[in-house]
Amino acid sequence: METKRIGIMGGTFDPIHYGHLVTAEAARGQFQLSQVLFLPSGTPPHKDPAQVTDTKHRYTMTVLATLTNPYFEVSRVDIDRSGATYTIDALRILQDLHGSNVRLFFITGADAILEIMGWKDSEELLGMAEFIAATRPGFQLEDRQGTIHHWFSSQNKRLHILQVPAMAISSTDIRTRVHNGESIRYLVPETVDYYIRKNRLYTADVQKAMVDYE
């Protein structure tokens, strides 16, 4: 039986933007992934819950952003769990769901790779998935590439470097633009732009009610 190759892209997606989508598609093509699972986080342990948009909004925006790509799928693994949600817990669940005949590829930014040892159960985490480190604008990967590779190879783990188009887009900047009344067109899919404006997310008078799509 052929081994299934699944990409995993976790994050708060607050909101999801073209930088996320371009990275996921580049990883899918380069590493011949059968699908990429987007995992909106439930309760990120490293962030103040009061500063994170409600999961129902982040999940819906992620679905809207990915629905036209048949290789993208949004998972509720994290948002349906109570308490702090850690990457290792999501990987354990996905491993059980797909069985032993699967290779998991965790997609993250190259600048976050060296933080992994501080994650919960990092040794088990490194043994469960291969890591795709996507370069970002302004990050001098060349300065750290040797260190990163040495760190992974010393633990017999596999690390892949992914070059992606230079798109200097961040969720933080998008939230700031919305708050300041500036346009976010061409930074996020039109469906996400519409959803943010309709629900008045990231404004001073944030409404938590979902959009009524009649």
Residue range 71-125, pLDDT digits in tens: 999 999 999 988 888 899 999 999 999 888 899 999 988 777 778 878 889 888 8
What confidence tier does 127 reach under pLDDT thresholds 50, 70, 90?
confident
Crossing angle of helices 55-66 and 190-199, in 10° steps, is 150
User: Which domains are delineated in the chain?
Assistant: 4-168 (3.40.50.620)
Contact 136, 110 (CB under 8 A): yes
Nearby residues of 159 by Cβ (< 8 Å), 6 or more positions away:
113, 130, 131, 133, 148, 149, 152, 153
Nearby residues of 171 by Cβ (< 8 Å), 6 or more positions away:
12, 13, 14, 15, 16, 17
What confidence tier does 209 reach under pLDDT thresholds 50, 70, 90?
very low
Segment 66-71 mean pLDDT: 98
Nearby residues of 92 by Cβ (< 8 Å), 6 or more positions away:
128
Q: Give the total residue count for the chain.
A: 214
pTM for the predicted model, two decimal places = 0.87
pLDDT higher for 24 or 116? Answer: 24
| Amino acid of residue 210 | M
pLDDT of residue 136: 67
